[in-house]
Amino acid sequence: MFKILDRYIIKTFFGPFLFIFSVLFFIFIVNIIWIQLGQFMGKGLSYVQIMKLLFYLGVSVVSMVLPLTILLASIMSFGEFGERYELAAMKAAGISLTRVMMPLLGVTTVLAILLYFFSNNIIPDFQKKAKNMLFNIAQTKPALNFTPGQFIDQIPGYMVKFDKIEGEEGRNLEGIFIHKKASTFENQQSIVAQKGKFVTPANKNYLQLVLYNGYVFEDSYAGKSDNVRTKQPDQAIKFDTLISHFDISEIINKAIEQERITDDYRFQTFTELNATINKTKKENNKMFANITNDVISQTSSVISYMDKNKIKAPVKSQFKIDTLKSNKRLEMIYNAYNRLENIKTSLETKKTELDPNVKYFSKVVIYQQRIVSYSFTCIIFFMIGASLGSIIRKGGMGVPVIIAIVIFIIFYVINVGFENVAWSGKMNPYLAAWLPNIILFPFGVLMTYKALTDSQLFDSEKYKAFLKPITQRFTKSKEHQRYQ
């Protein structure tokens, strides 16, 4: 009997589970589309390539989608049990709620374990494929990174703007402006053309651009004095056709290098991340030690002198500042203030140097710990969802969806909030990664206890009776005065 009941409970759970997982995965993919799609649509990529890239980018959302799916599916399934009085029938047959929850708890545990292996082994590979695909696009189709109507500095040494990018693979251009980057004392050059197109040269390290109907504005400033440069007229050369070559080897070589090197922490497994964390920690400690020594040497010249000569420096006699003359007193105060300001500026500069290292270390630690913590989130969300479903006794997509969204928003806000605090160096990143689970776990235990004790947590009549003495003070009696 119990085996038949277990199969029925699991079957009831997986019905909404598969539907909700598909919907949520689609929603998260749409979010990625809004962010990424504008870079690729209409610029030569096929729909198959776009879909493949979005799939690679979207696989990483499974770690967030699965806990939310378990939460919502458990609320809906147990809510349906309560709404159809199946929970009451099970309890009447001597089957406790704990026994009803056990098969789904086992299923959730299996899903949590699968999520760990998925996050540890599969997601890093897909993120690597996504990044490599982006690099390949940048290497084989340089025009893809250009956005119409915006100044772009992706070509080394140049600032360009194209009013329109059209045609096959986005090669046809209109409204072209190209400015060669140069300092004030170097030759200045700008090119303006009505139309142009990209041409694939034999050497892939260069980008060839054919321009039509335009002008070349050039100022020969190099090696000339200010007076000469002020009097020198601008030079404008009109052209019908101009072929320009741009050295993009820096972009291509960088892309190839990043494809070959896989030391990005998002490409690593849990075990490999341990080595990255230890390496980053050693580098940070070394940097902290260097900065500490610099600050000490600035704040105490006497200590640095003693460390250098290994002898005790003579101690000057002490005196009161009130005994000094006014001009000397102001001079000492001014010097002390300047020294404090210099130390303050130095500390702020050192903090700016430290912030990226602290943020990177926190990112690596949080990413590693979430491989495990999100698996525990699945179990906590099941405890909350199953308990709330058995209490509210409402199935369908109404109340359960609202409750699940509220709980997930709370979890997400806590998650992101502590993550930002850890990035700033004000919280241990290990604690930041686990604190959302630590906060929600007591709530899950409380909800489970309420469900096992048949609590009327969402019974409106109970709260009305509790608040009745207060509400009576603000309501008029409906009884007619002549009967009083």
For residue 348, name the pLDDT band (cuts at 50, 70, 90). confident
pLDDT the model gives residue 249: 66
CA dihedral angle for residue 128, residue 131, residue 132, residue 134, rounded to 10 degrees: 160
Confidence of residue 343 (pLDDT cuts 50, 70, 90): confident
Assess whether pLDDT exceeds 60 at residue 484.
no
Return the pLDDT at 311.
Answer: 46
Which of 475 and 167 is assigned the larger pLDDT? Answer: 167
Look at residue 224 in the predicted model and tell me its pLDDT.
65
- Which one is predicted more confidently, 435 or 356? 435
Helix (H) or strand (E) holding 147: none
Instruction: With CA atoms as reference, report the closest residue to 417 among 436, 437, 439.
Output: 436
pLDDT in tens, 424-433: 888 899 999 9
Range among 24-33, 243-252, 311-320 with highest mean pLDDT value: 24-33
- Residue 203: DSSP 8-state: S
pLDDT in tens, 29-83: 877 777 666 556 545 566 777 777 778 878 888 988 999 999 989 988 888 888 8
Structure confidence by residue, pLDDT tens digits, 295-321: 677 666 534 433 444 444 454 445 566
> Crossing angle for the helix pair 270-299 and 326-392, nearest 10 degrees?
160
Burial 127-157 (b: 16+ CB within 10 A, else e): bbbbbbbbbebbbebbbbbbebeeeeeebee
Residue 399 reports pLDDT greater than 80: no
Q: What residues does each domain of the chain span?
A: 2-139+368-457, 157-247
Query: What is the Cα Rg of the chain in Å?
Result: 34
**What per-residue confidence (pLDDT) applies to 153?**
73
Orientation of helix 62-83 relative to helix 97-117, angle to 10°: 170
Helix (H, G, I), strand (E, B) or coil at 180: strand
Top pLDDT among 224 and 404 is at 404
Please give the pLDDT value at position 156.
Answer: 73
Rounded mean pLDDT, 229-236: 70
Structure tokens at 297: 């040497």
* Residues with Cβ within 8 Å of residue 452, at least 6 apart in sequence: 96, 97, 98
pLDDT of residue 345: 77
pLDDT score at 426: 84
Using 50, 70 and 90 to split pLDDT, how confident is the model at 398? low
**Residue 197, pLDDT score:** 87
Q: Which of 250-264, 379-393, 461-475 shows the lowest mean pLDDT across its residues?
A: 250-264
Mean pLDDT value across the chain:
77
- CB count within 10 Å of CB 242 equals 17
Contacts of 29 (CB under 8 A, 6+ apart): 54, 58, 61
How do beta strands 188-199 and 206-219 pair? antiparallel
- If you search the block for the tokens 């004000």, which residue do you land on? 426
Q: What is the pLDDT of residue 257?
A: 39
Q: At what angle do helices 429-452 and 399-423 cross, to 10 degrees?
A: 160
